[in-house]
Amino acid sequence: MDTLSVPTMKTVSIELPAADYNLLKALSKKMGWATKIVKTKKSELDLALEDVRKGDLKSFDSVDDFMDYLNS
């Protein structure tokens, strides 16, 4: 009985500069690989760090003012 050899597939995630994506896409096409872009949701920490970089910070005169802000 003949058996077909089915290649074992692996899923790989890589991060690369956007400018290099077309190179990866062309290579993938030539090799017969499938590619897809998976959008990831930014974490709350990433969003907070972006706010800091933009200078979008809050300041409070007292802890009570801060607590009032958190509870509102």
DSSP string, 12-65: ------GGGHHHHHHHHHHHT--------PPPHHHHHHHHHHHT-----SSHHH
62 HSE (CA, 13 A, CB side): 3
Determine contact, residues 10/21, Cβ cutoff 8 Å. no
Q: What percent of the chain has pLDDT over 90?
A: 58
CB-CB contact of 35 with 28 (8 Å): yes
More confident residue, 2 or 42: 42
| Closest of 42, 34, 41 to residue 12, by C-alpha | 34
pLDDT tens figures, 41-72: 889 999 999 999 999 998 999 999 999 999 98
**Percent of the chain at pLDDT above 70?**
96
| Residue 45 confidence (pLDDT) | 94
Does residue 38 register a pLDDT over 60? yes
